[in-house]
Amino acid sequence: MKKPARPSRPRSSSAKTTPPGPLFFNREIAWIDFNRRVLALARNPAIPLLERVRFLTIVSSNLDEFYEIRVAGLIGQVESGVTEKTPDGRTPRATLDAVVEAARALVKDQYRCWSEHLVPALRREKIFLKSREQLTRADLARLEPVFERDILPVLTPLAVDDSHPFPQLMNKGLYILVLLGDAEGDADATPRLAIVPVPRILPRVWKVDAGDSRESGSFTFLGYIIKSFVGHLFPGESVLGAWAFRITRNSDLYIDEDEGGNLLKKIEEEIRNLRKGDPVRLEISSGAPAEVVESLLRYLGLDAEHVFRVDGPVNLLRLDALLDLLRRPDLGYKPFTPAAHEHLFAPEHIFEHIAEADRLLHHPYDSFNPVSDFIRQAANDPRVFAIKQTLYRTAADSPIVEALREAALNGKQVTVLVELKARFDELNNISRAKRLEEAGVHVVYGLVGLKTHCKCCLIVRREADGLRRYAHLGTGNYNHRTAKVYTDLSLLTADPDITGEVADLFNLLTGSARKPRFSHLLVAPFNLHAGILERIRRETANALAGKPAYIVAKVNALIDVEVINALYAASRAGVRIDLIVRGVCALVPGKPGLSDNIRVRSILGRYLEHSRIFLFRNADGEPDLLAGSADWMTRNFVRRIECVFPVRDPAARNRIVNEILSTLLADNRGAWELLPDGTYRPVPRDEASRRHPLCAQEKFMRLATKAATVALRRMDEPGPGAAHGKPTENPLP
């Protein structure tokens, strides 16, 4: 595999002293830094305008989850008096202070991006987003009958006084806080508060001007309309002011599985309780008077440090409603059609093609249809006896769920492990589990204390020479919708070594084997952590012995201390290490005497980088090439069922090493480089890279389109992977 040139660094394995400065970056601050990189996409004029708006909504969605889970946890630790320090040396109190400061700066920059970059850019395209102050008399005259007809009937004002207890506010619901005075203008009358819940059933963005054009025009937010006419809800009262707000609550699901009982019922009950979770953040319009905000905080029992005053629409996530209203394909990414695999065009022959050779799919560049076809064909194939499947996150209209139901109705033995604790998908997964059980599927919920995160499907089929197993192993979920926007790998295989151990994995999940043994798969929490550490240490030993040593890892997050320390030791021994970490990275790269030989990059773009790939040079044998469901986080190693699998087929190995990893490591347009001080910068571009700019995701789309064209001409030619080139004998440097 060709790697971008970089200066060679001296080995420093003899160094004994610890270099000055931090050895680990803070996980929470690194998460905010990741979202700053997403925000940079929203500011990037080279990206289509409506996609920039979408990136802005993604930052808001991410920040919501961050507060619901991570910040809520920090607040709980502080209130409980926890003083244990994180690997970067911070107490929970110090971490919380740093997080609040960083989050406040991020939100400020979000709204600056909206008002100073996106709103003017939309205006140039004749798309006008009007604030409450920008609505003209003519606009209000046009909107008032709309308000009275379509909005007012579903609003319910809630008084806040001695005879009306403070209402229970929904997590992330939008509300209008109203300050009321005496209609007669009595200066001595005490102003009163009222709250108007904004029903989620109402659209969040409304057309202001006449006509039904979806290409241009004036729009405004529902909150601004309600504030403009909120007096209609309080006849005989004087409205002194009205401000939009919402609260975020602790949404971390706590289930004590050791107590016994029905897990499904426990989760349903706990989700109901989450509606009453402790508030952890208040977002409110910037114009709200201090005394009004203080009153609201007293009712909520929330500290002032968690108030975010925003200068613009509360909850920028709701800008997605604008994207739904507009029909401007010229302002979005050009449509891309995923390629169909040349050997998987015909679903009726899918088992024959998998039996010939392993088939690798690189989503979303390769279509997800063969994965759905794999299960759908099994459901209707009379020679298939059994199907076993894990489900973590699936779409509401999942063809895979329907295929599993159909298989059970066809009399096949179908076992599905549904992970009920997939965060924010708990109720969806409960609903799907019940639907599967109604069709006769044997549904199980995994092992006590462990979240089942692996992505596996096993099919048992009778063939001429007896029963044969087929498996799908992936890095992403069985979700045909996210497969269009997440980059993931799928491996379809009939390799008996692999499928035999996938069968053992399912026996573990359904039968709770105490001491499972895996020789080919790395399965958490049993042998995955040790297997990764063993491979890093092998590269370390090879470097010390003067042999070639090289590691490439692509993950979503890297925070496990043992793995980081092993990588530091490898770097000091002279191992060259390339890490592609999309999100949180606690490892400090490029630190003299510690991580001189480690480079960390983060790639962001049109698609969410989600695949996990691991490459170890292994100078004394075949290079180790692995992929799977696990990030390098402690939770993935010890609190989840994860599956990392070897890629053994020559064509598949060639494609991953010489096409996928090589391209990702050469990206000079969508890649960011992590510096020793914890900041990120776009990967520097020299004269050569300026002449030949490379965006990995764009290249993969071009390759997929070319492969599909070639495959159409060569469908009759033998040899897997023909559309992606012949395997090379020595793919590593």
Residue 662 is predicted with a pLDDT of 96
Residue 269 is predicted with a pLDDT of 59
Residue 215 is predicted with a pLDDT of 85
289-340 confidence digits (pLDDT tens): 999 999 999 999 999 999 999 999 999 999 999 999 999 999 999 999 998 8
395-413 confidence digits (pLDDT tens): 888 999 999 999 999 999 9
Give SS3 for 538. Answer: helix
**Measured between alpha carbons, how far is 102 from 715 in angstroms, rounded to an integer?**
54
Residue 725 is classified by DSSP as -
Residue 57 is predicted with a pLDDT of 97
**Measured between alpha carbons, how far is 637 from 524 in angstroms, rounded to an integer?**
5
By percentage, how much of the chain surpasses pLDDT 70? Answer: 89
Residue 698 is predicted with a pLDDT of 96
Residue 77 is predicted with a pLDDT of 92
Least confident stretch, 182-196, 535-549, 633-647: 182-196
Is residue 238 scored above 80 in pLDDT?
A: yes
**Measured between alpha carbons, how far is 51 from 654 in angstroms, rounded to an integer?**
33
**Measured between alpha carbons, how far is 586 from 429 in angstroms, rounded to an integer?**
32
Residues 435, 421 contacting (CB under 8 angstroms): no
Residue 260 is predicted with a pLDDT of 43
User: For the chain, which domains are there?
Assistant: 27-331 (3.30.1840.10), 347-511 (3.30.870.10), 525-724 (3.30.870.10)
**Measured between alpha carbons, how far is 719 from 691 in angstroms, rounded to an integer?**
36
Residue 356 is predicted with a pLDDT of 94
Q: What is the mean pLDDT of residues 251-266?
A: 58
Catalytic residue among 306, 453, 480, 529: 453
The per-residue pLDDT of the chain, averaged, comes to: 89
Nearest to 653 by CA among 552, 731, 538: 731
Catalytic (active site) residue 453: yes
